[in-house]
């Protein structure tokens, strides 16, 4: 079981959104400095954050259906 599985939906959504935003910033810095490595690392962080956010949404949806 990964650390993401142990976290609640809300926590994964918040952390995912933060990673996604940080990745966008890192990518923009790479654009401004013409640094391809930073651009790619920023995009990778952005995608990982988006995936974590989606996981959190799914976890919240499961929690909501458990309450029914």
pLDDT at 65: 82
Over residues 40-56, the pLDDT tens digits come to 999 999 999 999 999 99
Alpha carbon distance 16, 56 (integer Å): 8
Contact 64, 31 (CB under 8 A): no
Per-residue pLDDT band at 64 (split at 50, 70, 90):
confident
Q: Which of 3-7, 24-28, 34-38, 53-57 has the lowest mean pLDDT?
A: 3-7
Q: How far apart are alpha carbons 42 and 34 in whole angstroms?
A: 13
pTM: 0.81
């Amino acid at each position: 079981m990964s650390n993401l599985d142990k976290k609640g939906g809300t926590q994964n959504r918040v952390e995912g959104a933060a990673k996604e935003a940080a990745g966008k910033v890192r990518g923009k810095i790479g654009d401004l400095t013409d640094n391809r490595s930073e651009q790619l690392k920023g995009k990778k962080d952005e995608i990982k954050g988006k995936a974590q956010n989606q996981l959190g949404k799914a976890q919240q949806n499961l929690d909501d259906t458990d309450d029914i």
